[in-house]
Amino acid sequence: MIRPGLLTALLVLVADQASKWWMATVIGLPQVGHVPLIEAGPFSLDLTMVWNRGVTFGLLAGDAPWHGWALAGLALVVAAVLLRWMVRAETRFVAVALGAVIGGAVGNVIDRLRFGAVFDFVDASAWGWHWYVFNVADAAIVLGVLALVADALFRSPPVKDPSTKPDAVSKEPA
């Protein structure tokens, strides 16, 4: 099951880095700072330039020179653990979800190593409430984690083949 997960990770990584390149160079978001996109009733979607020096929702933010490297290292360790999980994934769904998280994590690691912070730019709001500014990598991480939680909560347990022998360590009542 590793192939679909790795393909998903690669697609997320490429989409993330391409979108950040597009926002920085073609749109020129670092120079303009804010671009309104969609306004539909109480909903709006804007492009807003934000450097996130922390992790999700700006948690663990810091300005020390070593801070970005430490968060990048932590993200790489998490990605390695998730890659190990992907190797053992029982379903394509789980492998793809893990790939989304890994691809997003690596995309944000690249930003941390290049810039010392993550380049976020999607700003969604509704009824005057603003969600945290995010990027493609962040969206992939959140969707991947939600898929893993849904799988853990709703997937039916595997059906045991009655023709197989019970495990040697299991003790059946006499």
DSSP β-ladder status, 34-40 and 43-52 = antiparallel
Task: Give backbone dihedrals phi and psi of 84, rounded to 5 degrees, phi first.
Answer: -60, -40
Q: What is the C-alpha to C-alpha distance for residues 37 and 123, in angstroms, rounded to an integer?
A: 10
Neighbours of 141 (CB within 10 A): 23
Please tell me which residue in 111, 120, 123, 151 is annotated as part of the active site: 120
The dihedral over CA atoms of 41, 51, 79, 124, expressed in degrees to the nearest 10, equals 0
**Active-site residue 167, yes or no?**
no
**From CA 121, how far away is CA 76, in angstroms rounded?**
23
Whether 161 is catalytic is no
Annotated catalytic residue within 16, 111, 123, 138? 138
- With beta carbons less than 8 A apart as the criterion, state whether 139 and 49 touch: no
Residues belonging to the active site: 120, 138
